[in-house]
Amino acid sequence: MSCGMRAWTIVVCLGGLLLAPRTAGAEQVEPSPPSSGPVCGTAEGRMPTSVQFTTLFRESLEEMLSRSDGFRSQCARLAQHPWVYVRLKFALSPLPYAFQARTLIARTLDGPIIAYIEIDPRASWPEWIAHEIEHVLEQADGLRLWDLAAEHRTWESSESTYETQRAIDAGRIVSRQMRETKRARRVAGE
């Protein structure tokens, strides 16, 4: 990145070996216009305007808002921080250490936070979107990962990258809620 105003950056992500061939390539990079539904709503919900994403994520994000309390909560917390800008896209080149997702977070001298989230196309999108958004929320909440690392409350997953239990838990909760609602809807014949 070439951001002259950047005060500091951190990278947060989690590893996981991915052995299948990569399938990315046809990504539509331009962010799509927002749907007309309510911000963070259950039915035809949409993300706050501060969150831009690759078009292919639209359906997944709407599904996550529809089916996961945890993700709606994350969305609502993001909406409370309009000075936190999120850019969500696929990783078009291999992530280091075979990570499934990565977020580069920059805080400008003026205060706004800009988070660039990359998701491996083969990863479980709901889990890793929620995981990385939680890392963004950690920064919106003012967490200083390097201080927490010194206290062993977070850890470096590789050089200059950090991992937190909070993000791991957030991703797993959303993933579980997606599975549970899918099962419940199937039982209900929806």
Binding span for Zn ion by CB under 5 A among 6-14, 53-61, 111-119, 176-184: 6-14
String marking each residue 14-33 x if it binds Zn ion according to CB under 5 A: x-------------------
Is position 51 an interface residue for Zn ion (rule: CB under 5 A)? no
CA distance linking residue 25 with residue 102, whole number of Å: 18
Q: Name the residue nearer to Zn ion (CB basis): 46 or 71.
A: 71
Residue type, 183: R
Q: What is the DSSP string of 121-146?
A: TTS-HHHHHHHHHHHHHHHHTT--HH
Is position 117 an interface residue for Zn ion (rule: CB under 5 A)? no
Is position 114 an interface residue for Zn ion (rule: CB under 5 A)? no
CA distance linking residue 138 with residue 58, whole number of Å: 24
| Rounded to 5°, angle at Cα 80 from 77 and 86 | 75
15-21-23-24 Cα dihedral, nearest 10 degrees: 50
155-158, strands of its sheet edge to edge: 51-53, 84-90, 113-119, 101-108, 6-14, 161-163, 155-158
Binding span for Zn ion by CB under 5 A among 24-32, 84-92, 104-112, 167-175: 167-175
Nearest to 62 by CA among 184, 178, 187: 178
Q: Name the residue nearer to Zn ion (CB basis): 68 or 161.
A: 161
Q: Name the residue nearer to Zn ion (CB basis): 129 or 167.
A: 167
- In the complex, what is the shortest distance from the CB of residue 24 to Zn ion, in angstroms, rounded to a whole number? 20
Is position 88 an interface residue for Zn ion (rule: CB under 5 A)? no
- In the complex, what is the shortest distance from the CB of residue 75 to Zn ion, in angstroms, rounded to a whole number? 18
Q: Name the residue nearer to Zn ion (CB basis): 12 or 130.
A: 12
Q: Which one of residues 78, 167, 170, 173 is an interface residue with Zn ion (CB under 5 A)?
A: 167
* Positions that interact with Zn ion (CB under 5 A): 12, 14, 163, 167
